[in-house]
Structure formats: C-alpha cells, structure tokens
Amino acid sequence: PLPPPRKTRAELMKAIDFEYYGYLDEDDGVIVPLEQEYEKKLRAELVEKWKAEREARLARGEKEEEEEEEEEINIYAVTEEESDEEGNQEKAGEDGQQKFIAHVPVPSQQEIEEALVRRKKMELLQKYASETLQAQSEEAKRLLGY
C-alpha cells in the first residue's frame, strides 16, 4: 500500500489560528490557577534562597545596608492586588456563559451602520453631484455652522 500523500504547506497553515499561538489560553480558566500556584511556589523558593544567601553573608561578617535592602524589597515585592492576572475577576455573562473579552475597541452596531450610511452618501454625492454643487453645499454648511 502507498503511504498517504503529504500535506502541503498551505494545508498545514490553514489549521493555524489564534488558539495555536495560545492567545486565549487564559480565558478558559484552567491555566491561570496553575500559573498562580507555580508563581507562589517559585516566589517562596526564591525568598528562601535569598534568606540563605543573606545569612551566609552575615555569617562571613559582611556588613549590609538595611535601609537600601528594605527599599529593594519594597520595589520588587508583588502583592495580590498588583497582580496583572485577570483570572481573579468574574467573567461570566448574565446567562452563566463565559463572555468574550475584546482587547481592542469594538464599534457598536449603530456606529457601524452610521459609518456605512456616511460612506454611501459620499459615494452617491461624488457620483451624481457636480463639484460646484458640492462646493456650494460645503459653503452653506460652513456659514450655517454645521
């Protein structure tokens, strides 16, 4: 039997979308708690390592500046309120389904319809109205304050 034909590059690329790159991984609610748990564990390990190094320096007799060290600790400390994760917020709609969060401003249906009407008006004006008529109309609007 012949082996199945290989897929072309175009066929392979058809299956690639935003999910392939993990763009909406945080919206399913699975990865965020896992990441938070791992971050807490890693943070605790780093604190223990830092404390051990600090104790070793003190045991060797190195003098350290407490004030500078306290400032550095405050600068790099991350609290739960400062966390950039959106997983703590409730993302459910009225019907209990998870709602989609747009990361770009999305125009409303009314704004889209208004833009389409404006575009169509401009196309019709350019098609049927003469340039002098358009200039007179613009001048009248300017004089009336529209």
Give the number of domains in the chain: 2
CB 123 within 8 A of CB 117: no
Q: Over 60: is that where the pLDDT of 1 sits?
A: yes
The per-residue pLDDT for range 62-107, each reduced to its tens digit, is: 765 554 555 566 555 556 654 454 444 445 555 566 666 767 888 8
pTM for this entry:
0.34
- Give Rg (Cα) of the chain: 31
115 and 81 assigned to the same domain: no
26 and 84 assigned to the same domain: yes
Residue 94 lies in a domain: no
